[in-house]
Amino acid sequence: MQVKDVVRVFVKGGVISPGEFLKIIHIAENLGAEYLHFGSRQDIMFSIDEQQMDLLEQTFKAINTQFEINSFEYQNICSSYVTMDLIPGKTWLASHVYINILESFNYEPKLRINIVDPSQGLVPLFTGNINFIASALDNYWYIYLRLNGQPETRWQVPVLVYSDDIPKVAKAIEEFSIGIDQPDYQVISRKLIDEVQMNYQPVTDELIFPDTIFPYYEGINRTSYGKYWLGLYWRENKYNTNILKAICQRCLNTEVGKICLTPWKSFIIKGIFDKERIGWEKLMGKFGMNLRHSALEMNWHLPAMDKEALALKIFLVRTLDQQDISTYGLTFTIKSDDDITLFTNIVIEKDSNLSNEEPIYNILYSKDFNPNSGVYKNYATGINKEVIAPLLIELSQLYFDQLAEETVETSTHQHIDLINQTLYQCSNCLTIYDEKYGDTQQEINPGTTFNQLPTNYVCPVCGSEKSGYKKMV
């Protein structure tokens, strides 16, 4: 049996140009790979034969791209750039802010680094060793450290750092902590403030986690400014190189400048012109690409290229689908090794301490079903595969039971306010425009009546035009 080596290609922040992606695909093909895979750190992976090693190093050095073989000495930088124009976020956090930060990294990090907007729910916040989380103050970021591998022990540095200084700060933290088994967070924070020349502000407001619903990230969708984005997902995380080449070439032919990788083993193409949308649909049809997987199918985090975990996921998805169970709002992890970082509501963990012939599993769920909490509770231990699905059904019911409903004041004054509110609803996705609150994500101030909305106003969720709204009676 031939020995296969796994090549991991770094993609800073999950952002790559179609031309650069095309070069990587050609290199992978020349080395014998038929498929590419995506990792949870927004990186690219493929397998090659052992004897191709010399050729691999020559070709990647020629295009000045960082890569590794069978090791995790260095780490890819994760970012929520992919959510720009898809999910409402911090108004100051424009695409050029991400790009400027990512391009300023002039060293190869050995620690995991996250650069994330907390307003979105697609890219996890705290899966890095160094996590930069956007604050409400323009161009300033919280810093959360998790250097000992335990998400529940993350440490908040007591200052906000300016965007331009993020690479410098990340490098300094790495230098302060590498080689230390039990890093002292207070010492690191003090050294950072005292020894690094950076623009910072003291933390005065605690980070608030908004209630973000995990988004549906597949298919062709309209943005608020009239263009479209295309989300692509393959069930087995095996992306055929011929299909990927055709996608990259179409991006180049239609002036699409960026391809964005997600942590969910998928990728997104943004900035598609309306006139090009049909051409993309034809391309998808030519290759028989399914653009309508269920949310139950897509909301899973698995170790890349892990056949056993994939088989278990397929079994569970089919079982839950047959039961017609709703898992809306929930995400799942199958954990088969200690290296995987948890960032979902529910975890199915293979128990490596038991010596049974058949695999045995534990089920955990995050505190308050909040994947950002970093704290997981045991729900069941020592169970076999057949018992997992019924327990997941129980957990989904527990999740829906604990969802808090907003209470409505019943005073006469409040009742009159509710009667006088004018609500309009999008006919396509049923999103409501409430004149009382406006739409701050599109710079529509509270109190703006529906008739005062600009003619080019579109639904913030599905992109339908203003004319598609109906008054609620």
Q: pLDDT confidence of 354, banded at 50, 70, 90?
A: low
Average pLDDT over residues 84-94: 88
Instruction: Report which residue type is found at 123.
Output: V
Of 440 and 455, more confident: 455
CA distance 190 to 455: 53
Q: What residue spans in the chain does CATH classification 3.30.413.10 cover?
A: 298-402
Phi-psi region of 11 (alpha: psi -120 to 50; beta: other; left: phi over 0): beta
Average pLDDT, rounded, for the chain: 85
Task: Measure the CA–CA gap between 464 and 180, rounded to whole angstroms.
Answer: 54
User: Which spans in 287-411 are helix H?
Assistant: 295-298, 307-322, 385-402
pLDDT level of residue 15 (50, 70, 90 thresholds): very high
Q: What are the pLDDT digits (tens) for 422-450?
A: 678 887 766 778 787 788 767 788 788 88
Six token digits for residue 328: 């809306």
How many Å from the N-terminal Cα to the C-terminal Cα in the chain? 69
What is the structure's pLDDT at 408? 38
Q: Using 50, 70 and 90 to split pLDDT, how confident is the model at 159? A: very high
**Bridge-based pairing state of the strands 332-335 and 346-350:** parallel
For residue 170, give the nearest of 131, 214, 201 by alpha carbon.
131
Beta strands in 39-82 (DSSP E): 44-49, 67-69, 77-79
- Which pLDDT belongs to residue 171? 96
User: For 272-312, what is each residue's pLDDT tens digit?
Assistant: 999 999 999 999 999 988 888 888 888 999 888 888 899 99
Render 77-104 in DSSP notation, one character per residue.
EEESGGGTTTS---TT--HHHHHHHHHT
CATH number of 298-402: 3.30.413.10
Q: Which two tokens stand for residue 51?
A: 């004897």
Residue 281 DSSP class: H
* Cα–Cα distance, 155 to 171 (Å, whole number): 17
Question: Which CATH number is 412-471's, of 3.30.360.10, 2.20.28.10, 3.30.300.130, 3.40.50.2300?
Answer: 2.20.28.10
pLDDT in tens, 373-421: 888 999 999 898 899 999 999 998 888 888 765 443 433 333 333 334 5
Residue range(s) of every CATH 2.20.28.10 domain in the chain? 412-471
Q: What is the mean pLDDT of residues 333-359?
A: 80
- Please report, rounded to a whole number, the percentage of residues in the chain having pLDDT higher than 90: 49
Burial class (CB in 10 A: 0-12, 13-18, 19+), 377: exposed
Residue located via tokens 């703006």: 448
Angle separating helix axes 53-62 and 18-30, nearest 10 degrees: 160
Reported as a single tens digit per residue, the pLDDT across 306-326 is 888 999 999 999 998 888 877
Among 3.30.413, 1.10.10, 1.10.3470, 3.30.70, what is the CATH number of 87-202? 3.30.413
